[in-house]
Chains A and B, each alone.
Chain A
């Protein structure tokens, strides 16, 4: 019996969120007196797999097949289901990212194993198996009981601490009959040279208070200095001041970085829905009544056009940038 963690990789690199998922799965395994094992699909070096032991995985089941080098949720689900059966896993852990969102629900329906997505804490196993998940876009939590023998949890990013030891995982090359993909990938378009919003630890975001796209250097320069991703409010994306993928909130992307730095954003409830899981929120707004201040940890009531250049100067000084 084991806890099985799906470790997601692209181009031979395990994603950061998967390290968090392995640490989380390892903690569950300890809680239940089981071993933590990981499963990795597609081409990747042996060193990368052995290194998953650092996060707590005792074994790593690795399946290579040319059909797995391109993501196909259906093919991935079948292969993972095979590993679950072979290992007798009782709990399966995903990171609640884009791959997890495509695969975990399929696996749940295939195995008739109860699924909780958006988990933010270890399960409470004192009476059954109850997982705390984020609901109402971060405005509340639900405690959800999984009532099946096999359980699936999809962990929200940035909600469990990553700790490492000097362990090494045993790599097991497994084989599987992999169906040819039904989904044909005809184009991939990655935004290069920017920190992807979904993975960012720091986010600098601008709203309509910045008046127009010509003023966005106040956002992008700070972001560049901090290695942060950039985001914006919905009206800003709707007016094409910024690309749509930067739109966060109820109807855009959701982020949970360590720092969300909001400039000239009022903090409407629909905007907060996408950012309220951030660890630290900073608000720069000239209106002391702006609702965002109620959700903020730090703030300045002031004109962004006066305040931001000084902040950028101070960060430059801190970072030793001329």
Chain B
């Protein structure tokens, strides 16, 4: 069984959020970029564990991005991916990206496609579902556990107020969140090895974009905190009841 892990490049979790060009673009100057944490910590590491347990033959990575995504994909290779494909495009429409990933998934005959729960910049939580529809496979969203026995995947997914265990025959697309695996730090051997692992760059397949980002806004600044004396905590309760009216 071959696994395809979808890797996206996102600003570091502590990056300052600001915009340029008339608020139409994220201000990248001075920002450090990372592998989207859900893709790295959960999807990729679980894929590696399945391979280490002899349940998968290869773990391939795919990213849709320009050459500035190469360091990100190399980092994921350093953690342990076998090979990678970068689809050379900076289109940010979810359907466009999903169509590129679906084409790679079909071509390569991958039976398990893993994505992260969401990108921490766009927060779409959409690409996995779109890929599944495009390759006509079941989709398990927001999975917290995943096991494989033969051609059956057993996944535990989050439902409102609990969890549900699902059994599906491969192929399947699964979006991964906390619980799947633990973060792995790449070691020196991994980092050295990643330099020579195959990273194939392909041009995108022609598909339309269904959406486009017009502009960004920042939320209005908070009015500031109203502090209550620690001597009179009951005053806080009064304010929440009478002023904020939250209970």
| Bind each other | yes
Q: Which of B165, B212, B227 contacts A144 (CB 8 A)?
A: B212
A73 touches B162 (CB 8 A): no
Could you tell me the distance in whole angstroms from the C-beta of A218 to the nearest C-beta in chain B? 12
Q: Which of A72, A140, A297 contacts B217 (CB 8 A)?
A: A140
A251 within 8 Å of B by Cβ? yes
Q: Which of A115, A143, A252, A297 contacts B225 (CB 8 A)?
A: A297
- Most-contacted residue by chain B among A135, A258, A259 (CB, 10 A): A135
B133 touches A77 (CB 8 A): yes
Q: A141-B216, A144-B214 are in contact. Are A183 and B233 (CB under 8 A)?
A: no
A311 to B141, CA, bound (A): 40
A226 touches B129 (CB 8 A): no
Mask, A257-298, CB within 8 Å of B = 1, is 011000000000110010000011011000000000111111
Could you tell me the distance in whole angstroms from the C-beta of B241 to the nearest C-beta in chain A? 6
A101 within 8 Å of B by Cβ? yes
Q: Which of B95, B123, B130 contacts A136 (CB 8 A)?
A: B123
B161 touches A183 (CB 8 A): no
A282 touches B236 (CB 8 A): yes
Which residue of A is nearest B244, CB measured?
A: A280
B236 touches A185 (CB 8 A): no
A202 to B50, CA, bound (A): 39
Mask, A110-121, CB within 8 Å of B = 1, is 101111111000
Q: Which one of B55-63, B68-76, B189-197, B203-211 is at the interface?
A: B203-211
A314 touches B138 (CB 8 A): no
Q: Which of B17, B38, B41, B141 contacts A102 (CB 8 A)?
A: B141
B47 within 8 Å of A by Cβ? no
A73 touches B138 (CB 8 A): yes
B166 within 8 Å of A by Cβ? yes
Q: Which of B166, B223, B225 contacts A293 (CB 8 A)?
A: B225
Interface range, B side:
35 or more
A117 to B95, CA, bound (A): 13
B228 within 8 Å of A by Cβ? yes
A146 to B241, CA, bound (A): 41
A306 to B233, CA, bound (A): 9
Could you tell me the distance in whole angstroms from the C-beta of A221 to the nearest C-beta in chain B? 14
Mask, A164-192, CB within 8 Å of B = 1, is 00000000000000000011111111110
A321 within 8 Å of B by Cβ? no
Could you tell me the distance in whole angstroms from the C-beta of A243 to the nearest C-beta in chain B? 11
A307 within 8 Å of B by Cβ? yes
Could you tell me the distance in whole angstroms from the C-beta of B238 to the nearest C-beta in chain A? 8
- Most-contacted residue by chain A among B94, B240, B246 (CB, 10 A): B246
A115 touches B210 (CB 8 A): yes
Could you tell me the distance in whole angstroms from the C-beta of A288 to the nearest C-beta in chain B? 9
Could you tell me the distance in whole angstroms from the C-beta of B51 to the nearest C-beta in chain A? 23
B167 touches A184 (CB 8 A): yes
- Most-contacted residue by chain B among A73, A104, A244 (CB, 10 A): A73
Q: Which of B133, B216, B233, B246 contacts A140 (CB 8 A)?
A: B216
Q: Which of A137, A308, A311 contacts B120 (CB 8 A)?
A: A137
- Most-contacted residue by chain A among B41, B123, B154 (CB, 10 A): B123
Q: A190-B161, A190-B162 are in contact. Are A109 and B129 (CB under 8 A)?
A: yes
Which residue of B is nearest A278, CB measured?
A: B246
A142 within 8 Å of B by Cβ? yes
Q: Which of A183, A196, A259 contacts B167 (CB 8 A)?
A: A183
Which residue of A is nearest B235, CB measured?
A: A314
B218 within 8 Å of A by Cβ? yes
A318 to B241, CA, bound (A): 9
In the complex, chain B residues 117-164 whose Cβ is within 8 Å of any chain A Cβ: 120-134, 138-142, 144, 154, 158-164
B121 touches A135 (CB 8 A): yes
A22 to B23, CA, bound (A): 32
B166 touches A186 (CB 8 A): yes
A183 touches B236 (CB 8 A): no
Q: A77-B133, A147-B211 are in contact. Are A196 and B161 (CB under 8 A)?
A: yes
A110 touches B133 (CB 8 A): yes
Interface residues of A (CB under 8 A from B): 10, 15, 72-74, 77, 96-98, 101-110, 112-118, 130, 132-148, 182-191, 194, 196, 198-199, 202, 226, 244-245, 247, 250-252, 258-259, 269-270, 273, 279-280, 282-283, 293-303, 306-308, 310-311, 313-315, 317-318
12 pairs of residues in contact across A and B, judged by CB atoms under 8 Å: A73-B141, A74-B139, A105-B94, A115-B95, A133-B123, A135-B216, A137-B120, A198-B160, A250-B13, A259-B247, A299-B228, A318-B237
